[in-house]
Amino acid sequence: MNDVGKLLVAAGLLLAAVGALIWSGFGSGWLGRLPGDIHYTRGNFSFHFPIVTCLLASLLLTFLLWLFRR
């Protein structure tokens, strides 16, 4: 049970750090606007799908989870 507590504390600190970075505006200029992200506008309709941003976030989370499992 001690390991679960450590994992929850580490996950909480990581989540708080990411939240603080997003709240401070870090990445607001490039996050979601990477090359390869899909943005379509026609008339008053706009569609935005940040596929490359999602892939990078998935890669980062996979790497972090892999590190925690080791």
Every domain of the chain and the residues it spans = 1-28, 32-70
What is the amino acid identity at position 9? V
Task: Give 20's Cβ-side CA count (13 Å radius).
Answer: 6
Write the DSSP symbol of residue 13: H
Instruction: Give the predicted TM-score (pTM) of the model.
Output: 0.59
63 secondary structure, DSSP code? H
- Among positive and negative, which fits the CA dihedral 24, 63, 15, 34? positive
Strands 45-49 and 38-42: antiparallel
pLDDT at 6: 84
pLDDT digits (tens, 9 = 90+) for 3-62: 888 888 888 988 898 888 878 877 677 777 888 899 999 999 999 999 998 999 899 989
